[in-house]
C-alpha cells in the first residue's frame, strides 16, 4: 500500500522525542493521550518501512518548524531579538523531521504547480472548506497514488473515500489508529 502522512503524524512522532518538540502535542485527540499518539505514529512509520511505501510533502518541513516557532514565541514575549534566537531551536525540529523521514524511508515529495492547481481547483476541497496547507497535502497524496492519507485533522478525515487518488481509487483518510488496522 501507499501511505501518505501529513504533518500532524510527524508532530505526533516528534512530540515524544525531545524537549523542543514535546510542547507540540499536549492535548489528547479522539480519546488518545499525546503519548499514545506518539506511539501510534511510530508504529505506523515502522509498519510502512517494513511493508509499504510512505510519503509526505516538502511542506511538512515548513509546518513542523513553524509549529515549534509559534509555541516558543509565546514564551518569549518581551525578549530582545527573540525571533533570531528561536529560529535555530525551531529549525532543529525540521532537522528531526528530516531524520525521521530517512530512518523510516518516507519519500519527501515536491510541491509542484500542478499539485497547487489541483488544490485550488478541486470542487470537493472547496466545498468542504479545506484550507491551503491541507489541500496541498491532499493534492500531493492524490499524485502519490496514496491508498491511505493519514491525518489527525477531523476536517480532512471527513473526506474519507470522497477523494480519488491519481489512479481513480478512493483514498481512505483516517487517523493513525484506524490506519494501523488497515495496514
Q: pLDDT of 87-137, one tens digit each?
A: 888 888 899 999 999 999 999 999 999 999 999 999 889 999 999 999 999
Query: For residues 54 and 45, is the Cβ–Cβ distance under 8 A?
Result: yes
Note the pLDDT tens digit of each residue in 59-91.
999 999 999 888 888 877 776 666 777 888 888
Select from 101, 90, 98, 95 the least CA-distant residue to 65.
90
Task: Check pLDDT > 90 for residue 10.
Answer: yes
Contact 37, 15 (CB under 8 A): yes
pTM: 0.92
**How far apart (Å, rounded) are the C-alpha atoms in residues 134 and 139?**
9
Q: What is the mean pLDDT of the segment spanning 168-172?
A: 97
Pairwise pLDDT comparison (76 vs 159), residue with the higher score = 159
Q: Tens digits of per-residue pLDDT, 134-156?
A: 999 999 999 999 999 999 999 99
Residue, of 158 and 83, whose pLDDT is higher:
158
* pLDDT of 22: 67
What pLDDT does 11 receive?
93
The secondary structure of 75-112, three-state, reads: HCCCCCCHHHHHHHHHHHHHHHHHHHHHHCCCEEECCC
Nearest-angstrom CA–CA distance, 8 and 182 = 19
Q: CA angle at residue 40 from 11 to 179, to 5 degrees?
A: 100
Q: pLDDT digit string (tens) for 13-59? A: 998 887 766 677 777 788 999 999 999 999 999 999 999 999 999 99
Please report, rounded to a whole number, the percentage of residues in the chain having pLDDT higher than 70: 96
Which residues, 6+ apart, have CB-to-CB distance to 14 below 8 Å?
21, 24, 64, 93, 96, 97, 100
Quick one: pLDDT at residue 69? Answer: 87
Q: Tell me the three state secondary structure of residue 160.
A: coil
What is the predicted pLDDT for the residue at 75? 75
Q: Are 13 and 43 in contact (CB under 8 A)?
A: no
| Separation of alpha carbons 38 and 11, rounded Å | 8
Amino acid at each position: 500500500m501507499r501511505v501518505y502522512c501529513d504533518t500532524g503524524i510527524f508532530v505526533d512522532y516528534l512530540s515524544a522525542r525531545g524537549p523542543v518538540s514535546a510542547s507540540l502535542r499536549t492535548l489528547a485527540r479522539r480519546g488518545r493521550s499525546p503519548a499514545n499518539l506518539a506511539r501510534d505514529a511510530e508504529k505506523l512509520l515502522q509498519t510502512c518501512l517494513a511493508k509499504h511505501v510512505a510519503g509526505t510533502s516538502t511542506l511538512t518541513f515548513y509546518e513542523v518548524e513553524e509549529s515549534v516557532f509559534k509555541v516558543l514565541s509565546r514564551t518569549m514575549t518581551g525578549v530582545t531579538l527573540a525571533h533570531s534566537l528561536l529560529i535555530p531551536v525551531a529549525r532543529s525540529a525540521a532537522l528531526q523531521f528530516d531524520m525521521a523521514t530517512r530512518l523510516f524511508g518516507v519519500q519527501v515529495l515536491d510541491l509542484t504547480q500542478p499539485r497547487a492547481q489541483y488544490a485550488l481547483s478541486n470542487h470537493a476541497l472547496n466545498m468542504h472548506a479545506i484550507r491551503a496547507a491541507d489541500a496541498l497535502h491532499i493534492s500531493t497524496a492524490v499524485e502519490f497514488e496514496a491508498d491511505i492519507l493519514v491525518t489527525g485533522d477531523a476536517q480532512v478525515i471527513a473526506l474519507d473515500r470522497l477523494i480519488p487518488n491519481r489512479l481513480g481509487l478512493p483514498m481512505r483518510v483516517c487517523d493513525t489508529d484506524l490506519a494501523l488496522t488497515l495496514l
